[in-house]
Amino acid sequence: MINVLDKLFFLTTQTTSYLFHVTEEGHLEHLYYGKRLSHLLSTDIDALKDKHHINIGTEPCYNEDNPAYFLENISLETSTEGRGDYRIPMVVAEYGQGLSTLDFVYKSHTLTKGKPIFHDGNAQAYGTPEDSSTLAITLTDKKLPITLTLYYTTFDTCDVILRKAVLSNDMEGKLLIRNLSSLQLDLFDDNWDLITFDGAWSRERIMDREPLRSGTHVNESRTGLASSDHNPLVYLARPDATESHGLVIASNLIYSGNHKESIEVSPFGKTRLLTGINDSLFAWTLNQGESFGTPEAVLTCSEDGCNGASDHFHLFVNAHIIRGEWRYRERPILVNSWEASYFDINEDKLYELAKQGHDLGCELFVIDDGWFSGRDDDTSSLGDWYPSPSKFPSGLATFSRKVHDLDMMFGIWIEPETVNKKSILYGKHPDWMIAIPGREPVVCRHEHLLDLTKKEVCDYLFKSISEILDTCSVDYVKWDMNTVFADLYSFSVSDMREYPHRYVMALYGLLERFIQAFPHILWEGCASGGNRFDLGMLCYFSQIWVSDNTDAFSRTAIQGGTSYGYPPSTMGCHVSNSPNPQTLRISPIDSRFNVACFGDLGYELDLTELGKEEKTTIAEQISFFKLFRPIFQFGTFHRYNHDSIIQWTSISNDKRTMATLWMQPLNPSNAKSDRLFIEDAEEDAVYDVFPRSQRIPLSLFGHLLKTVKPLATAGETVQKVVSENLTLPSEVEHYTVSGSVLKHAGIKLNQQFSGTGRDSQTRVFSDFGSRLYLIKKH
């Protein structure tokens, strides 16, 4: 809801209020963002304004008749260079002889129902006149015909505010945009911790928290992708804010390219947050009559800690970012060929894997890399989108029919944006590859980017890939991208500083064509794992592969970090081999499942090679997951790590059922007693609490087995067969407990195994051991 009273703008979401007004000099002063203000007196505005009545020291005054008006010490909704605000500016645009002084003041505003659709190529959120409202404020430069329009959209059922800026040039000369952020938020004080989500390939979006200090902190990507290095998601949290308590403000960007978040603490202790396209790799020329629209930014605020803010993002992403037939639809359990056989695939082998997946309960079979002509390793054939006749002698279409006959969905992997030099496509069109004439290009995984800004490139990709999607009745596509931007050059662009953004816009254009043409397909994004996990991609892909690292313990940090901005329904999470191919860590198959089930579950290992007990375990996991899938994918997801225990809870939308992950990374030996708290329990309710039953492989006990009767005297062969094939049921533990005990006192759990005995109640945990506790309301 948005109200305008005179020149006061009052934005309200379900639990937050956002206020700003027009100052006596025409600037937009930010007044408040925080817990919803239930009612406002007209006299409150005076209390909310920052007070400046005397000029201090050498502060440059904006107007001699108003000597205390000093832009640097006002919380502003937008900022420029050259008028006395020395913080990082939201807008930098050059005209004439390199001048960049601009001064935007209020001109007019409009208030409309709904969320406008912008035709500037950006990925964008959507809303209807019934569920959203938009305020557009037009500001003009005091001297030149240059206009800045700020858009603010609120949604009736989501606690976020969407922001966007559009800069228009009506001068005769050119205007060169050097920076245009999507969002500026100036906060009154600097008592914040900055939380960012950083990493690299195979350790994406690991949460990082540091107190803010004077000066500027930059969170950015320069690789051309939103990147695994630094996600555009950032949080500002009060130092005492935890997962469940305290004030946090967070922003994210609907953009898949180079981004930059600058967080500056000014000399006057105010905090400025800017987010948008990364200015250091960007410039854009506006001729007279032209405009440039930024990507949209999403802002949220919660007094219920980080879980409160991530709840807001999760609701928003599912309601206003994910679109099409897969919106709110449960995602199929898949089996993927990559870590099962990598490039070593053929139709017989794949069929065995699909059949085994089907028998265990999987619903979708995905052929990952290696299915197209000439692709026997990663050095060749990207760009040649024709099925390999040697791997599929009966044809890929026939194979897909066989998978469909198993009553499974059929999916393939593609990587359309890149080309190998060793390919038919490159032979025919070397000029379609991005490279600077005369300079040997940097190469990443033997591949190069295709110039998507060329129409003929997109037409070729659309046509050749559509043919496969049609003839093979493809139900699912994994869209991968395994390179980064380097040696950017295109004959079709005159200023290469425009190119990274033009590429992203061309990519969005191509994706739009595909999703329009194949609306039933479930699209999963991927970029060497999670190198492009962002809200821009989620406008086209209903889910994204979180990381190539499928190790259960690593995934607690990776999925945990990702969950601060993105709901579990968007996260591709697979059970894979042990030792894990990325970390060589050995972890129980149930822990791999217990972590992967908080998202879009899949299996990525050779199911045909598994022993009987492991197959039974997987079949049980899948049956369990099918019962609880709506909760894991679309329930409320909360993080509650404490001491060294990793704890996540998913809560059903009717709040009657919860599932909690409890993972102990290392077995401390002779462990102290454990307690299980469920902070989301309702005080007055009564719950049944019990662990999902798991299988403890006897092999876990190693040589101890030789000390247990009757095995002790059974001989080595029998001991070996028993140890490799038999399992024990996990502990029996069941409580009927009040919500207030569950929330405040915690359940004192059964003892852990410590090497000196076990009974049916003993909780047996190896390193990286875990349980899923089910909590059901009476």
Task: Give the CB-nearest residue to ligand DGJ.
Answer: 369
- Residue ranges of alpha helices (H) inside 229-380 are 305-320, 338-341, 347-360
* List 190, 475, 480, 551, catalytic entry: 480
Choice between 331 and 639, CB closer to ligand DGJ = 331
State the Cα angle at 413 between 448 and 562, rounded to 5°: 85
- In the chain, what is the straight-line distance between the N-terminal and C-terminal CA atoms, in Å? 37
Task: With H, G, I as helix, E, B as strand and everything else as coil, classify residue 688.
Answer: strand
Q: Which two tokens stand for residue 661?
A: 């992950």
Pick between residue 320 and residue 478 the one whose CB is nearest to ligand DGJ: 478
* Helical pair 499-517 and 455-471, crossing angle rounded to 10 deg: 30
The answer to whether residues 139 and 148 touch, using CB atoms and an 8 Å cutoff, is: yes
Backbone CA torsion sign across 488, 261, 482, 313: negative
Cβ 445 to ligand DGJ shortest distance, Å: 8
Nearest distance, CB of residue 531 and ligand DGJ, angstroms: 8
Nearest to 258 by CA among 26, 488, 492: 488
As a whole number of Å, the CA-based R_g of the chain is 28
User: Is residue 548 annotated as a catalytic residue, yes or no?
Assistant: yes
Nearer to ligand DGJ, 228 or 278 (CB): 228
User: Which residue in 548, 590, 674, 680 is the catalytic one?
Assistant: 548
Closest distance to ligand DGJ from the beta carbon of 529 (Å): 4
| Token representation of residue 63 | 């107007």
Closer to ligand DGJ by CB, 80 or 483: give it.
Answer: 483
CB-wise, 382 or 403, nearer to ligand DGJ? 382
Residue 461 has, within 13 A of its CA and on its CB side, a CA count of 27
Residues of the chain by 3-state class (helix, strand, coil), percent to 5? 25, 35, 45
* Residue among 630, 603, 578, 610 at smallest CA distance from 725: 610
Binding residues vs ligand DGJ (CB under 6 A) = 338, 368-369, 413, 480, 482, 526, 528-529, 545, 548
Give the burial string for 591-610 (b: 16+ CB within 10 Å, else e).
bbbbbbbbbbbbbbbbbeeb
- CB nearer to ligand DGJ: pick between 155 and 413: 413
Q: Shortest distance, CB of residue 548 to ligand DGJ, whole angstroms?
A: 5
Residues paired with 523 in a beta bridge: 477
Distance of CA 659 to the CA centre of its chain: 22
In angstroms, give the least distance from the CB of 604 to ligand DGJ. Answer: 8
CB of 107 to ligand DGJ, least distance (A): 48
Q: Least separation, in Å, of the C-beta of 224 and ligand DGJ?
A: 17
Of the candidates 65, 57, 5, the one whose C-alpha atom is nearest the C-alpha of residue 31 is: 5
Shortest distance (Å) from residue 111 CB to ligand DGJ: 45
Q: Is 551 a catalytic residue?
A: no
- Decide whether 279 or 548 has the Cβ nearer to ligand DGJ: 548
Contacts 24+ apart (CB under 8 A), 342-349: 342/369, 342/370, 343/369, 343/370, 343/375, 343/376, 343/377, 343/378, 344/370, 345/370, 345/371, 345/391, 346/390, 346/391, 346/392, 347/391, 347/392, 347/393, 347/394, 347/399
Q: 74 or 526: whose CB is closer to ligand DGJ?
A: 526
Q: Which two tokens stand for residue 147?
A: 């206009």
Active site residues: 480, 548
